[in-house]
Chain A
Amino acid sequence: MFWNSFSEFLAMGNHGVYVWGSVGVMMIAMIVEPVLLIRGHKSLVARLKRQLRADRRTLSQG
């Protein structure tokens, strides 16, 4: 292991803001994108299922 203490690791030799700013935004982006995709997929599946049920109902009634 390269670091002596955790606070040294966080400080990144006075470049902490820049390093953790990069890591943070990249992490957030790489978490938010899949989450949005999963939500989009689920809502699409739900919408299509509703349509399917509605279609069946009109078919059985008509």
Chain B
Amino acid sequence: MDKRLINWFKFASPQAFYPLAGRMMPWFWAAAAVFGIAGLYVGFLVAPTDAQQGEGYRIIFLHVPASWMSMFIYLVMAFWAGLGLAFNFRLSGMMATALAPTGALFAFLSLWTGALWGKPMWGAWWVWDARLTSELILLFLYVGFIALQSAIDDPRRADRAGAILALVGVVNVPIIYFSVKWWNTLHQGSSVSLTKSPSMAMIMLWGMLLCALACWMYAIAVALMRVRTIILERERHTEWVRIELSSKE
């Protein structure tokens, strides 16, 4: 137990995490590729046509994982941010910063695929459905977080200000979702729901899970890549970065 705790703190320092992240990255890339190929194979080649939605339903193999990831990454980001705020770990703030652009990308992809799904199903690119609207607001929250962090020059202050914003956002997301849902039911929302197809065949569920796993692995790999760049940038004046750089020459 003790030893594990020590190891944890060892990797909590940017200096130790930098090479570790470099070693882990290829594994996550490989996992993302394997899951991605398997998921797309199941989703696009094996899964049968949906009785109600035709072939267009195959978009949900991309849309649902993207939406899940955009929400999940926000939670993880807020978790790292809160950890950094509470215990002053330098690495946690960097992780939160590294996750934000990927989360925003997934939120955008979720909106994009949602629009392309909506056009054939609802006959409109955009419908003020509770889920789509919440996703749009989530994208706004990501944009706010990124904008705030990039406007503050001092990285320590950027980390901590971003952390407060992320935590406030996390508290607000359920309130926003509830209010949007309330608003949507009052204003007669569309009758077709995005994920609640009456009978989701087992094979479809598998395809979706595999794609979601692929997105998850991708997000980790990309976040590790980005955090390595952030670590180098912020620690550029330290001795270990000098050694690291000269060893590669």
* A interface with B by C-beta (< 8 Å): 1-3, 9, 12-15, 18-19, 21-23, 25-26, 29-30, 33-34, 37-38, 40-41, 44-45, 48-49, 51-52
List, in ascending order, chain B residues with CB within 8 A of A22's CB.
59, 62-63, 112-113, 116-117
Q: A62 → chain B, closest Cβ, in Å?
A: 18
Known: A13-B56, A22-B113. A41 touches B245 (CB 8 A): no
Contact sample, A vs B, 17 pairs, CB 8 Å cutoff: A1-B46, A3-B45, A9-B44, A13-B55, A13-B56, A14-B55, A14-B120, A18-B56, A18-B117, A19-B55, A19-B59, A25-B109, A25-B113, A26-B113, A29-B109, A34-B222, A40-B229
List, in ascending order, chain B residues with CB within 8 A of A33's CB.
101-102, 105, 222
Interface magnitude class on chain B: 35 or more
List, in ascending order, chain A residues with CB within 8 A of B228's CB.
41
A17 to B122, CA, bound (A): 15
The reply on B48 being an interface residue by CB < 8 A is yes
The reply on B232 being an interface residue by CB < 8 A is yes
List, in ascending order, chain A residues with CB within 8 A of B222's CB.
33-34, 37
Give the secondary structure class of B's interface. Answer: helix
Q: A26 → chain B, closest Cβ, in Å?
A: 5
- Find out whether the CB atom of B116 lies under 8 angstroms from the CB atom of A18: yes
Find residues 29-85 in chain B having any chain A CB closer than 8 Å to their own CB: 44-49, 54-56, 58-59, 62-63, 66
A56 to B160, CA, bound (A): 35
List, in ascending order, chain A residues with CB within 8 A of B45's CB.
1-3, 9
Interchain CB contact (< 8 A) of A41 among B62, B109, B225: B225
A13 to B112, CA, bound (A): 20
Q: A30 → chain B, closest Cβ, in Å?
A: 6
A37 to B226, CA, bound (A): 7
The reply on B2 being an interface residue by CB < 8 A is no
- Find out whether the CB atom of A15 lies under 8 angstroms from the CB atom of B55: yes
A49 to B109, CA, bound (A): 36
Known: A18-B59, A44-B229. A2 touches B113 (CB 8 A): no
- Find out whether the CB atom of B116 lies under 8 angstroms from the CB atom of A21: yes
- Find out whether the CB atom of B233 lies under 8 angstroms from the CB atom of A44: yes
List, in ascending order, chain B residues with CB within 8 A of A52's CB.
242, 245-246
Closest 6 CB pairs of A and B: A15-B56, A13-B55, A12-B55, A22-B113, A18-B116, A37-B225
- Find out whether the CB atom of B233 lies under 8 angstroms from the CB atom of A19: no
- Find out whether the CB atom of B120 lies under 8 angstroms from the CB atom of A15: yes
Known: A33-B101, A44-B229, A48-B232; 7 extra A-B contacts, CB below 8 A, are: A1-B46, A14-B54, A25-B112, A26-B112, A29-B109, A48-B236, A52-B245
